[in-house]
Structure 1
Amino acid sequence: MNKKVVAIILGIIILVGAIFGLWYNKRSSEQPKTPSTNVSDSAKFKSEYPRVAANNRFVYASDKEILDIFDNGSGVVFLGFPQCPWCQHLSEHVDRAARTEGVDKIYYLNIRDARASNNEVYQKLVKKLEPYLEKDKNGNPRIFVPDVSIVKNGKIIGRYKEESTGDDNITPDKYWTNERIERTLSQLRGFMSQLK
């Protein structure tokens, strides 16, 4: 009788343990996976902009951080979005210039949704950049991307300006000749060197 009771108790313990194990595994597999917070900004940017170096200088900035730089801060501000092929190409050159000049951060803001909705942040950015902006088909100032500003103590000391080709249908691959890349790097480095 004693052996029978011990066997039953052991059986119940094993059964309860198995049920608990199955329940725990099911529960943990149903919980949402949280994204890793260990992914650096440079790694995240590289995943969105594959042309840049793995050790790129891009950091994701909030709307407020970008507006603060334009108000009274200093730094390189890159406005764009990954779906823009011109942004993809220019990001590589901005990063190279920053690394050469010892600029440790390029403040990046994806403005695609803000521009599409013409939200308050986009309107504030347009107001700050208005003297430099081209007009859209309705005559309103518009931030065409990529948009790169070099800001020192809240004053814009330089802006990337794309060279005119006279060809509205030119692709980024055709536009970026070795000569244009060198001129762009020189232009950007000249502005960035003033941040020191």
Structure 2
Amino acid sequence: MKKLFILCVFLLAGCATQTPSKTPSACSEEQACTIGDQNTVETMQPLSFEEALSFFKEKKSGLLYFGFENCPWCQEALPILREEAKRQNVSIHSILTRDENNELLYTEEQKQEIIPYLQDYMSKNEEGELTLYVPLVVVVKDGKAIEGHVGTVDDHDAHARKMTEEEKQELQKKYEDMLAQLSS
């Protein structure tokens, strides 16, 4: 009985010292969100919109993700992107574009400043202005966007339905090809 008690104490002590990995639904501006175990590089590293602009100006390289928590397309795309980034050991620099009330987190001036870097991956809205639609995933090398992808897959409307397994595989393959460019 005494041995069983000592074994239980050791088991409880071991459980108390372990830190679970956190996999949040959205990363805060204050901290990076680790996804997966501690032995992988794959993390969501939050950047403000101003820091995203500096990413280009300072000629950095990496993967940028523009999105927001309440975006139904982002909710479907982000887990696929996270999994592929984890598989390829790539960090994701996450830029929130809207807050929990769907208010923009960047100014018109910041939008105009980022257009030269992202214009190939932006679309015109009903007024004919270039708009930053999300989710937007961009591969940046030496401050230049070399590849980008907006949304999920053709013909998918996240308001109407979830992606099929085939569509998820198509998006995963797109992300796989994009992320491979970071190591080439």
Normalized against structure 2, the TM-score is what? 0.69
Summarize the alignment of residues 22-171 of structure 1 with structure 2, pairs less than 5 Å apart: 43=22, 46-48=24-26, 54-55=35-36, 57-71=43-57, 72-103=59-90, 105-112=91-98, 115=104, 118-161=107-150, 162-165=152-155, 170-171=157-158
- How many Å separate the matches in 2 of 1:86 and 1:53? 22
The answer (yes or no) to whether the contact 1:78–1:149 under 8 Å persists in 2 is yes
Partner of 2:138, secondary structure, is strand
> Is 2:174 the counterpart of 1:187?
yes
State the identity as a percent: 26
Residues 1:174 and 1:192: Cα distance change in structure 2 (over 3 Å):
same
- How many Å separate the matches in 1 of 2:92 and 2:160? 23
Deviations 1:50-98 (A, max 9, x none): xx99436211113333112223111111111111111111111111111
Look up the match of 2:16.
Answer: none
Aligned-pair CA distance for 1:154? 1.3
Aligned-pair CA distance for 1:124? 1.7
Aligned-pair CA distance for 1:188? 1.0
Normalized against structure 1, the TM-score is what? 0.65
Residues 1:115 and 1:123: Cα distance change in structure 2 (over 3 Å):
farther
Partner of 1:125, secondary structure, is helix
Residues 1:112 and 1:126: Cα distance change in structure 2 (over 3 Å):
farther
Count of residue pairs brought into register by the alignment: 148
The answer (yes or no) to whether the contact 1:157–1:191 under 8 Å persists in 2 is no
- How many Å separate the matches in 2 of 1:172 and 1:89? 11
The answer (yes or no) to whether the contact 1:115–1:122 under 8 Å persists in 2 is no
Report the structure, 1 or 2, having the larger helix content: 1
Q: Which ranges in structure 1 are unaligned for 5 or more consecutive residues?
A: 1-41
Deviations 1:143-182 (A, max 9, x none): 01111101111122221244321x7xx3367341111111
Aligned-pair CA distance for 1:116? 7.0
Query: What letter is aligned with 1:160?
Result: H
Report the structure, 1 or 2, having the larger strand content: 2
Q: Which ranges in structure 2 are unaligned for 5 or more consecutive residues?
A: 1-20, 28-32, 37-41
- How many Å separate the matches in 1 of 2:34 and 2:68? 17
